[in-house]
Chains A and B, each alone.
Chain A
Amino acid sequence: MFNHIVKRIVISIPVLIGITVILFIMLNVIPGDPVALMMKEHVSPDVIARVNAQMHLDDPAVVRYFRFIIAAVQGDFGVSYKLNRPVTSLILQAFPNTLILAFAAAVFSWCIGIPAGILSAVRQYSFIDNLFMGFSLLGVSMPVFWSALLMQYVLALKLHWLPVSGFYGFKYVIMPAIVLGWSSAGIIARMTRSSLLEVMRNDYIRTARAKGLREIPVIIGHALKNSLLPVVTIMAIQVASLLSGAVITESIFGVPGVGRIAVNAIQSRDMPLLQGSILFACVLVIIGNLVADILYSFLDPRIRHEMQEK
């Protein structure tokens, strides 16, 4: 077990390094001279050269990359051009908001997705099944920004039930969480349904039925536990993608989170802030996938025993 976890962590390190390389090339090498870009044409070339030398921007890209990595490992992502504050502190300040939003969305999607999936599987091809699967498809096909505006219009502007935007308390979390969690709820419902249907075809389910158990104990006591295995993995992966995918939701609902930082950084062409926030989101996704992977091998007794034997 321990070896497996270590192996997984070791495998994800090159992926992380690859991401930093791509990010560095995209943001530091392709755009060209940052000082010249920022100061426009009304500055003499020697000033640009001097500032470049001062900030060590005239070093070869490889040297600059290693300097960036060494600083990043120590938690230093540079200073924001526009806000003039360390990127790390800006991100850490915003992260709890993103975390609250993502967690609320995840809880929403579990509470809706798993029961909906179970009901759909139990009543396969029924009206309820079609209804839930329709909602699930709708969740995947609906643009997040559009469903957000629709909810804002109906729930906030027309019915005055919830505040339009901002992030000051529980009431402010409800709408963004539903909007962000809907498509995940749909995916979880589909996953639960198909996985439960597959498990229900197994021999041991037939045995349970044959010994006279009623349908509900068969599902809850025998089928559900095994069918939720892939669902749990998807759930862990989704927490990560919710964290990174909150970009649109955060900017619509005015949630001061990491996603909004990234969007604002693009709009104000604030390279260090963009680099820091994107890298931060990528690290979260990688950790989420890692947890999903480890969780899966830990929960699935077939894989667990196989590893213990080795």
Chain B
Amino acid sequence: MTQDVSIECEPGGFTAPRDLENESFLKEVALAFVKNKVAIAGLCIVLFLVLIAVFAPFLTPHDPYAINLDEQLRPPSFHNWFGTDKFGRDLLTRIIYGTRISLVIGLVPSFISMIFGSVLGIVSGYYGGKTDFIIMRLADVMIAFPSLLLAMVVMYTLGASLFNIFIALSLVGWAGIARVVRSQTLALKEKEFVDAARAIGVKTRVIMLRHIFPNCLPVLIVMFSLGIPEAIMYEASLSFLGVGAQPPTPSWGLLVARGKEYLFSAPWVAILPGVAILITVLAFNFMGDGLRDALDPYMKD
């Protein structure tokens, strides 16, 4: 039923349980990651984007919202490196401010759905029975529901705005994570160290948090890092369709949508923000793939 192609859900098929506090394991992962040139390139681009987002106001002399009707749709020049849009706003400035939106949209909903997903996954896998049945059937439904369509329905209900995209994307993402974490938990709870913890009377909540959760971290980190570009893409798509961020927010998807109307006379307005999306998504994908290969050599394709 899953549309996920990259991640297997067989119990224990992902990683053997490892002690994350074990220094040699971390060292091994870091070494494998550093050796991967593509992943390092991705990481560098991501850091660069973070710097741009943080220091946006210092990087550009223009105001992203100031309308200047004397300078409509100017082609790229020394004064406006990426040209100007329909309202005479500097496009590069708007793309720079758009970095903030895309990074936050990438990180926050992925983080929220990771928390929900791991809590529900661990509870489901550890307790089993009815709890497991209910949570997993709910996850089945969420996974069978095409993500973009579900996000569109949520945006219809809550209204089109940037904040509601957070809610829509958080709702969309948790189910896949819950499914994988559950299968991890199923394998982990049979292990001796969990038995031992139970035998000496450790509380269930503590077992889940201190013994099971840390062993799910490698898979969670991979899913989180690969969820970021996905969320960025969904935000851009929703904003492009007009059901996401609303003007004058400088969301990249919205910039492309607005530029679409002048594709023939001023193609840069639509094309350049798309390049920004492409570079960002590619960088996060590079980094995520590198992390996956470093954390779990068996997942390599």
Contacts and interface: CB of A to CB of B under 8 A. Distances in A.
Interface of A: 12, 14-15, 18-19, 22-23, 26-27, 30-31, 137-138, 140-146, 149-150, 152-153, 157, 187, 190-191, 193-194, 234, 237, 241, 244-245, 247-248, 251-252, 262-263, 266-267, 269, 274, 278, 281-282, 285-286, 289, 293
Interface stretch (B58-66, B122-130, B176-184, B240-248): B240-248
A63 B240 CA distance: 37
B285 A26 contact: no
A143 B253 contact: yes
A22 B141 contact: yes
Interface stretch (B68-76, B92-100, B269-277): B269-277
Contact of A144 (B145, B155, B237, B242): B237
Interface of B: 1, 3, 5, 137-138, 140-141, 144-146, 148-150, 152-157, 229, 233, 236-237, 240-243, 253, 256-257, 259-260, 263-264, 267, 270-271, 274, 277-278, 281-282, 285, 301
Interface centre among B153, B154, B277 (most CB of A within 10 A): B153
Nearest to A8: B1
Secondary structure at the B interface, as helix, strand, loop or mixed, is helix
A15 B146 contact: no
Secondary structure at the A interface, as helix, strand, loop or mixed, is helix
Contacts of A14: 137, 140
Given A18-B137, A245-B148, A281-B149, 12 more contacts: A138-B278, A143-B253, A145-B240, A146-B256, A153-B264, A153-B270, A153-B271, A244-B148, A266-B241, A274-B153, A282-B146, A286-B144
Contacts of A267: 242-243
B146 A281 contact: yes
Given A143-B253, A145-B256, A15 B156 contact: no
B8 to A, nearest CB: 11
B260 A149 contact: yes
A176 B253 CA distance: 19
A193 to B, nearest CB: 8
Contacts of A247: 148-149, 152, 241
